[in-house]
């Protein structure tokens, strides 16, 4: 019986959780608070860096804007309306309409007809001639938009 009580004492001593004193709890809390404070200071520093960078960009934009206004006043700056602009539109029949404007006026305008391909016409009557069983539909080529430049 003495051996059995000895083993019971050993097991109960090993299974007991160590008592943490208030000093250790305070140190653990300070460690967590210290880690949080470190992360917070890093975030604040990165935000301050971003703010400085954004302020410099804003100043650069303001400087460019004042230079542009000065050039407009002197008449040495061409505005967007003075530059020729080319617009391409694909019409319902597949035609590409190319329009070039300058100062709001049309300078040049032309149409590029699409390539037509034969497609079987399901609406054609059964007794139609072989040439009438097909219809011509436009086939768009994406490179056509690039060629019209």
Q: How does pLDDT run across 108-137, given as a tens digit for each residue?
A: 999 988 888 888 888 878 777 777 788 888
CB 121 within 8 A of CB 134: yes
Q: Which of 36, 58, 77 is the last residue of a domain?
A: 77
129 shares a domain with 94: yes
72 shares a domain with 33: yes
| Distance from C-alpha of 97 to C-alpha of 91, rounded to nearest angstrom | 7
In a domain, 4, yes or no: no
Examine the pLDDT at 44 and tell me if it is beyond 70: yes
Please give the residue that has the higher pLDDT: either 35 or 76.
35
What pTM was estimated for this model as a whole?
0.38
In a domain, 118, yes or no: yes
Burial of 41 (0-12, 13-18, 19+ CB in 10 A): exposed
In a domain, 13, yes or no: no
- pLDDT confidence tier of residue 148, bands split at 50, 70 and 90: low
In a domain, 6, yes or no: no
31 shares a domain with 71: yes
In a domain, 15, yes or no: no
Span of 8-17, 87-96, 101-110, 121-130 with lowest mean pLDDT: 8-17
Number of domains in the chain: 2
Q: Which of 16, 46, 77 is the last residue of a domain?
A: 77
92 shares a domain with 55: no
Q: Which domain holds residue 49?
A: 25-77
Span of 38-42, 94-98, 127-131 with lowest mean pLDDT: 127-131
- pLDDT confidence tier of residue 61, bands split at 50, 70 and 90: very high
- pLDDT confidence tier of residue 35, bands split at 50, 70 and 90: confident
């Amino acid at each position: 019986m003495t051996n059995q009580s000895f083993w019971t004492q050993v097991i109960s001593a090993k299974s007991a959780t160590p008592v943490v004193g208030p000093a250790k709890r305070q140190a653990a809390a300070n460690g967590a608070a210290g880690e949080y404070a470190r992360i917070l200071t890093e975030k604040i520093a990165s935000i301050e860096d971003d703010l400085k960078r954004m302020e410099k960009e804003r100043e650069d934009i303001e400087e460019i804007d004042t230079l542009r206004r000065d050039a407009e006043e002197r008449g040495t700056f061409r505005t967007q309306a003075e530059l020729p602009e080319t617009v391409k539109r694909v019409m319902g029949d597949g035609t590409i309409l190319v329009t070039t404007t300058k100062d709001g006026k049309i300078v040049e305008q032309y149409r590029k007809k699409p390539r037509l391909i034969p497609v079987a016409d399901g609406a054609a009557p059964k007794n139609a001639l072989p040439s009438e069983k097909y219809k011509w539909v436009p086939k768009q080529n994406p490179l056509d938009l690039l060629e019209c430049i």
